[in-house]
Amino acid sequence: MSDKRATREALGATLLELAAEGRDDIVVLDADLAKATTTVKFAAAHPDRFFDVGIAEQNLIGTAAGLAAGGRTAFASSFAVFATGRAYDQVRNSVCYGNLDVKIAATHAGITVGPDGGSHQMVEDIALMRVLPNMRVLVPADYRAAAGAIRAAASTPGPFYIRLGRPALPAVYDDAFEFEVGRAYVLRAGTAVSLVACGAMVTRALDAANLLAAEGIAADVVDAATIKPLDEDTILASVTKTGAVVTCEEHSIIGGLGSAVAELVGEHAPVPLERVGVRDVFGTSGEADELMEHFGLSAGDIAAAARRVIARSSLSSS
């Protein structure tokens, strides 16, 4: 499992597969970023079912909603910053209010966009999408999970937000992996702390678990691949077992996975919690790995947060 592939590469490839499997109902829309989002693969094979709307994201979402109202399953793709931010009211009113079959597959999410800088580094998208009724939010951790998420969304009616990234990521899952909407995956079993991660942070959480293991600390690692609906049972089972939790996301600490887990744990099983994520600031130019260090999203940062919540947990239980 040494291959590294970007989650966005799963978009064009999986849409092509679905078309080959007879999903003639699927249409794909892009807003002048088809090469970057990889929907260009679908466009080349099925030009009659691909619509480039130009640099017009409100139109992207609105037209997709109309196609969905006309009986199609519409995949709309752009960069995360534009698909969710620029077109928020269209996502809310044209898609979610009407509960239409639109899948917003957004790429270049998070700070790993890199050198393009803060204007393009979307770290608020999970928050924006998560609060919308009818919307489901998927944040796959690797290429295979992304392919599975796209398939799952394509076969489940209603609005979806699928968060995809620019950089190549190490594989977390093998070929047998099947993505289930609403399920979190326990990747490593531990006793001392729960590391609940999503997207590019899953690998880093696994790395953090290795760092902690070297100190004799056994961490549960949970991939919360579906942020909404959150797999409450799996996450509560983990935190009630370990008594401490660290959330890990390439997103603002406000409104994303950290908030979702804090809401759940706060209501049902209060335990010491820390959120590893972008701390309410905009991004900046730099290489992806540099930025993950810069914003405190490294395996070392997760491990440090884990030690702190474990210390708080033992204080409160002693």
Summarize as ranges the residues that interact with another protein (CB under 8 A): 27, 48-49, 51, 53-54, 56, 58-59, 61-72, 74, 89-90, 92-94, 97-99
Residue 182 CA to residue 208 CA, distance in Å, equals: 25
From the CB of 31, what's the least distance to another protein, in Å?
10
Q: Which is nearer to another protein, 99 or 156 (CB)?
A: 99
Q: Which residues are catalytic?
A: 57
Cβ(204)–Cβ(297) below 8 Å: yes
Shortest distance (Å) from residue 105 CB to another protein: 17
Expressed in percent and rounded to 5, the helix, strand and coil fractions of the chain are 45, 20, 35
CA–CA dist 253, 280 (Å, integer)? 7
Closest distance to another protein from the beta carbon of 29 (Å): 9
Q: At what angle do helices 143-154 and 9-20 cross, to 10 degrees?
A: 50
Q: How far is the CB of 88 from another protein (least distance, A)?
A: 11
Between 50 and 143, CB nearer to another protein? 50
Q: Which is nearer to another protein, 55 or 281 (CB)?
A: 55
**Distance of closest approach, residue 44 Cβ to another protein, in angstroms:** 18
- Provide the strand spans (E) within the chain: 4-6, 26-30, 50-52, 73-79, 102-107, 136-138, 160-163, 168-170, 185-188, 193-197, 219-223, 226-228, 245-252, 273-278
Query: What is the DSSP pairing of strand 160-163 with strand 102-107?
Result: parallel
The rounded Cα 138 to chain-centroid distance in angstroms is: 5
What is the nearest approach in angstroms of another protein to the Cβ of residue 125? Answer: 20
Please identify, using beta-carbon distances, which residue of 88 and 177 lies nearer to another protein: 88
Residue 186: half-sphere exposure toward Cβ, Cα within 13 Å: 17
Q: Write the CB contacts of 258 (distance below 8 Å, at least 6 apart in sequence).
A: 247, 249, 275, 276, 277
CA 187, CA 190: separation in Å to the nearest integer? 10
Select 55 or 189, whichever has its Cβ closest to another protein.
55
Which CB, 81 or 230, lies closer to another protein? 81
Residue 301's region, left for phi above 0, alpha for psi from -120 to 50, else beta, is alpha
CA distances from 3 to 8, 23, 109, 173, 311 (A): 15, 29, 21, 11, 37
